[in-house]
Structure 1
Amino acid sequence: MLWRSGAWLLALCLLSGAAQADDKHAWTALREGRAVLLMRHATAPGTGDPANFQLGDCRTQRNLNQVGREQAQRWGQLLQRQWIKPRLLSSRWCRAQDTAREMGIAAVQALPALDSFFQTPTTARKQTAALIEQVNAQARGTPMVLVSHQVNITALTGIYPASGEGLILALPLQAPARLLARIQP
């Protein structure tokens, strides 16, 4: 019985080491501009957008709560520890913009292709294609961090990310995207 427990522990350690090696490769690819970090905005309680949603008015939108602001700040700290000084692109939704700003690592640029299509799912395919095209048109060599929404990320990757979760995806971007690492919030 003790032997079995030891074997399981050894297997878990080996798997953990392999995951860390894969994560190291992913972080290096991101740092060198051969990958992109696509993340879901940090925690903003609720689902979708309120009925009175207006793009330019944060009072009409779901916004980050304290947990979300702390998640975003931790992302900024993590990226700094990884020596990543990215170009930071975000959806125009307040919760995504605020996630990017709370990281405190770079000026935030709006990229409409990252906007949520939760209310207009018929645009998913066209918007995902536009995102791929626009990301692939960016100059290589500079790390990019993209802040978007669950529906956008799921359409591109097939993955349903948690709030504040990030995916390091290989460049050039394609559909489905090639996942290098999944980073928990």
Structure 2
Amino acid sequence: MSASAVSIRWLAVFCALLALITAPAFAADTLPLSELAKPGRLLMLRHANAPGFGDPPEFRLGDCSTQRQLDAAGRAQAVALGKRLAAAGVTQARLWSSQWCRCLETARLLGLGEPVELPALNSFFGRSEQREPRVAALRQFLATLPADGPPVVLVTHQVTITAFTGEGIAAGAGALFELRPGGEPRLLGQIAPNR
């Protein structure tokens, strides 16, 4: 790879990081977690706190030692969210997760059961060529979910949620949607992170 290609790639990564850092707070209304207990609701949750951005150069799927991981605050955040969900009447949900370790750990700590890995939820941060195929696969998956079914929780990454909302979102926060059969889910608002 030429020096100019490397420079352009690093500039693109820098711009993406700058956009994440300076992204406005999620603009939708904040909703109570009890909204998720209604039929046909979907929570697209960003993984809990995992310090840093992206993943190390040696990142390998399935090897948590090569990935950014939840810290103690992130684990506590996920457990606390699970307790908040239970208090709001959400004790069972259909649960899917990105294959990244920080997402799988967040999902497990919610106490809603074992998550099913869904590659369409995987991060495409720093890999813009993967954005459209991932988002299309996720849209196709969401169109198959019943509009009158039990709550659905998807644990994913900021870039995935931004693709559906147009806004940045904090670690441990989520976007709440109403499922619509055969179509794009309708954004209802956000679920605030534990503070």
TM-score range relative to shorter protein = 0.7 to 0.9
How big is each residue's C-alpha offset from its partner over 1:43-80, in whole Å with a ceiling of 9 and x where there is no partner? 00010010000001000000000110011001111111
Alignment partner of 1:62: what SS? coil
Matches within 5 A, 1:86-101: 86-101=93-108
1:55 aligns with 2:61: yes
1:22-33 counterparts in 2 under 5 A? 23=31, 27-28=34-35, 30-33=36-39
Q: Does 1:149 align with 2:157?
A: yes
- Once residues 33 and 171 of structure 1 are traced to their aligned partners in structure 2, the CA distance between those partners, rounded to angstroms, is 9
Give the deviation of 1:181 after TM superposition: 2.2
2:60 paired with 1:73:
no
**Structure 1 alignment gaps of length 5 or more:** 1-18
- Specify the code of the residue in structure 1 equivalent to 2:38: E
What is the alpha-carbon distance in structure 1 between the residues aligned to residue 111 and residue 179 of structure 2? 25
Q: Deviations over 1:115-166 (max 9, x none)?
A: 0011311221221121011022124411100000011111111010011111
The number of equivalent residue pairs is: 161
**Correspondence 1:27-46 to 2 at 5 A:** 27-28=34-35, 30-46=36-52
Which has the higher mean CA deviation after the structures are superposed, 135-144 or 61-70?
A: 135-144
Report the more deviating stretch, 115-124 or 36-45: 115-124
- Partner SS for 2:31: helix
Structure 2 contact 55–67 (Cα < 8 Å) conserved: yes
How well do the aligned residues superpose, as a CA RMSD in angstroms? 1.7
**Is the 1:33–1:144 contact (alpha carbons within 8 Å) kept by the matching residues of 2?**
no
2:187 counterpart of 1:179: yes
Distance 1:156 1:128 in 2: 8
Cα deviation digits, residues 9-51 of structure 1 (max 9, x gap) = xxxxxxxxxx6xx835x734x3233220001000000100100
Distance across 2 between alignment mates of 1:33 and 1:91: 23
Moved over 6 A (4+): none
Q: TM-score, normalised by structure 1?
A: 0.81
The answer to which structure has the higher helix fraction is 1
Structure 2 equivalent of residue 119 of structure 1:
126
| Unaligned segments of structure 2, at least 5 residues | 1-28
